[in-house]
Structure 1
């Protein structure tokens, strides 16, 4: 399927989903107090974006998300490379890593709150914890996918481990790492917003939780829409970079 056809199919699917969202409450099949029409939610989102307080909440969430990604992505990549190069270490650690990956991270959130309170860094730490494993495992798989002859050639020319990592591993791993980064954005966004909803003084997650508790459904869905659109834009930007680097797979 061509790129234009793929884009058209995605836009058609999006139009059908939004049309169904608009039609269900308009036709009375769903109570509009529970599920407001999309048009009403969209207008509410535009109104919310004009409020300075919402700008502050979005900036707070964005800073927490950015800090979590800046810490977790490089750390996960380096640990993934270390794990892939050391078979004994991998045999010891991988069972524990798979176990932690399979456990819902939300059950650890109270532990982060008890340890770090409801501070900025509590959200960052929980975002890192929820993100670093997917990056680590993706980096490990990416290193193992690098052609062995490339590594052997570099070693035969006397390349150090740091040079091999920089000039062999990272270029070969980049498309896979960009895909992992897209997943990291999703995981980290979910974790940060969840932490804000659970216990926070600021942030868009705290606002969404407040609207839900007050049964302000238009504001609730508008907040979710704002977060979703922002995450989609970031995701598609990374996908664009990933497509530009796709020739490095060969």
Structure 2
């Protein structure tokens, strides 16, 4: 929950998460920073592109996995990292296109098939397309062609050449023409193909196992404070503290859009 009081910047807490199998600790993270900004500026993972900044084009998509408080398991899905606040990723495991594969580590089967179908074109939207397909196959290893097409409704190709891209992605569907591809085995989903031989490479790290988020997070920079309560009691206490003053606040859950609406700020 970002709050906008006069803060002295003394509230500090470590943010802990995994990116492409590597553990990261960020002390006193900036509440105004997005995940895409951190990936690009702090880790040099520029495969995650940023264009619209509104979650409408899909070039910033990354795969995330985090604990599911409902059943004690985990949830995995793709998110628009340009809208995802960095402070919200405590305990998450994040996969970018670099974590799937590349020229040195070996290409992922999805990357290879996109190239084989001549779907890379200018390449700007390709990383988001690849990660989005990876997220779908991780959740549903044998999707239908229609499910594949529906899963890409949030992605924009700036070359307007959607046909080869969708042909490549639909080739992974259960009802695809076997001569044009076929489903990828779930055991091959984390394998990388050598750019020279086309065979499976060894290397490229697999994501680490994420832990649980049992501790509350509190940090502040540039006049903005972020609170992550872990119980309803903590949430109610924070609301009581800030509802009586002139401070502006916003409850963040998913953050599918950003804006100053009267019913979201105070």
Q: Which has the higher contact order (CA 8 A, sep 6+)?
A: 2
TM exceeding 0.5? no
TM-score (norm 2): 0.23
Higher strand share: 2
Structure (1 or 2) with the larger CA radius of gyration? 1
